[in-house]
Amino acid sequence: MRGAGRPPPRCGRLTSVPRSRVPSALAGAVLLLALTSCSDDSGGSDTPPEDVLAAAKTTLDETSGVQLSLKTDGLPDGVTGVEAAEGVGTHAPAFEGTITVNLLGQAVEVPVIAVDDKVYAQLPFTTGYQDVDPNEYGAPDPAELITPDQGFSAVLSATEDLEEGDSVRGGEDNKEVLTEYTGTVSGEAMTNVIPTASGDFDVAYTITDDDELRSASFTGVFYPDSESMTYTVTFDDYGTEKDITAP
């Protein structure tokens, strides 16, 4: 955990005062302590942002699996592409879940299994799963999304112009300290997520004190001849284990 071994907060020191001044001195001491006390949630980390992202990449690369959720507020008009995706990704590599694609202006949710370098989808108006090429739908091979040095892992290591933002509490019962980091990523790196991405992208990550990437947002041009848009991805349940097999 980042911050381990950090010295305790340095707070105000109380000294003895004449008895006649106790009430006012006590009030002053309370105010002084309130002003000088510090919290682990305030202020930024002493760790350089590059090291934080490197640690988050290592955590993502080493986990057995995670629950992924990707969404956008809407695709540009006329674009055939991914509107949403949700499922479990493992380092087999494999993925099982659903992908929602826009086909002829209609959002279609498709059950998907990706394993052994093949992607199987249960397409509308068909029975059973079929072997498909995800590029035809503007989608990546979902099994590669958390593969080390591919997918989101590759995007993390390619992020430049990093800046640390605010820290807030979140997660279950507000037990986690979440810090935002912003930067930029090239279109070449972003093709690990959406194959047709081009140009530079603005990115924002939320990372926990346990070096877990909790969320990521990417803004830029993902599809040819279209406007800029934003994808948001969440990563939950690190350590998930699931035996995913071909249908």
Q: Do 204 and 100 reside in the same domain of the chain?
A: yes
Q: Do 107 and 219 reside in the same domain of the chain?
A: yes
pTM, to two decimals: 0.80
What tens-digit pLDDT sequence spans the chain (247 residues)?
554 444 444 343 334 444 444 455 444 444 343 433 334 444 456 899 999 999 999 999 999 999 999 999 889 988 989 999 999 999 999 999 999 998 878 899 999 999 999 999 998 888 899 999 998 888 889 999 999 889 999 999 999 999 999 999 877 778 889 999 999 999 999 999 999 999 999 999 999 999 999 999 999 999 999 999 999 999 999 999 999 999 9
Q: Is residue 117 part of a domain?
A: yes
CA dihedral 142, 182, 223, 213 (to 10 degrees): 10
Q: Do 5 and 122 reside in the same domain of the chain?
A: no
Long-range contacts of 5-8 (CB under 8 A, 24+ apart): 6/46
Q: Do 19 and 53 reside in the same domain of the chain?
A: no
Q: Is residue 244 part of a domain?
A: no
- For residue 137, the enclosing domain spans 49-236
Q: How far is the C-alpha of 136 from the C-alpha of 234, rounded, in Å?
A: 25
Q: Do 13 and 119 reside in the same domain of the chain?
A: no
Q: Do 157 and 216 reside in the same domain of the chain?
A: yes
Q: Which two tokens stand for residue 177?
A: 């300290």
Q: Is residue 181 part of a domain?
A: yes
- Bridge-partner residues for 68, per DSSP? 87, 235
Q: How do beta strands 176-185 and 106-115 pair?
A: unpaired
Q: What pLDDT does 7 receive?
A: 40
Q: Is residue 141 part of a domain?
A: yes
Q: Do 7 and 57 reside in the same domain of the chain?
A: no
Task: Please report, for residues 24, 28, 33, 37, 120, the alpha-carbon distance to residue 14 in angstroms, rounded to integers and kept in the order given.
Answer: 13, 10, 9, 13, 69
Q: Do 102 and 76 reside in the same domain of the chain?
A: yes
Q: How far is the C-alpha of 84 from the C-alpha of 89, rounded, in Å?
A: 15
Q: Do 203 and 167 reside in the same domain of the chain?
A: yes
Q: Do 134 and 229 reside in the same domain of the chain?
A: yes
Domain count, the chain: 2
Tokens 């690369």 found at: 61
Q: What SS3 class is residue 169?
A: strand
- Bridge-partner residues for 121, per DSSP? 112, 130
Q: Is residue 63 part of a domain?
A: yes
